[in-house]
Amino acid sequence: DQQVKQNSPSLSVQEGRISILNCDYTNSMFDYFLWYKKYPAEGPTFLISISSIKDKNEDGRFTVFLNKSAKHLSLHIVPSQPGDSAVYFCAASGNSGYSTLTFGKGTMLLVSP
């Protein structure tokens, strides 16, 4: 069973608009969440994270929102740029020394000029 779900395999957005990528989780023990970006033939690279004590974390054009009651998080990219075209993975971890991440299957974002 998938504990971290990214229900949209792909998303297309125009340059300059907002991209919203969604992620749902089922394990209530998860309390730390990350987003990774992956280009073809490269490994995933860390983008942004959020812990359960927050509901929002912002880094430049990237903002992650966490809704614990709904077990849902989202990544907002504003404004979207063609270089943002990549696969985005949501990942989650438990607390207190948990070293492992559980990944979603990813959403492919295509930003067109």
Partner 1 sequence: DAGVIQSPRHEVTEMGQEVTLRCKPISGHDYLFWYRQTMMRGLELLIYFNNNVPIDDSGMPEDRFSAKMPNASFSTLKIQPSEPRDSAVYFCASSLDAVGVADQPQHFGDGTRLSIL
C-alpha gyration radius of the chain: 13
Among 7, 12, 95, 112, binds partner 1 (CB under 8 A): 95
Stretch that binds partner 1, among 14-22, 42-50, 64-72, 76-84 (CB under 8 A): 42-50
Stretch that binds partner 1, among 10-18, 20-28, 61-69, 102-110 (CB under 8 A): 102-110
Three-class SS of residue 66?
strand
What x/- string results for residues 43 through 82 when contact with partner 1 is judged by CB under 8 A?
xxxx--x-x-------------------------------
Residues 6+ apart with CB under 8 A from 11: 19, 20, 21, 107, 108, 109, 110
CB atoms within 10 A of CB 98: 14
Residue 79's identity, in one-letter code, is: P
| Residues at the contact surface with partner 1, assessed by CB under 8 A | 31-32, 34, 36, 41-46, 49, 51, 89, 93-106
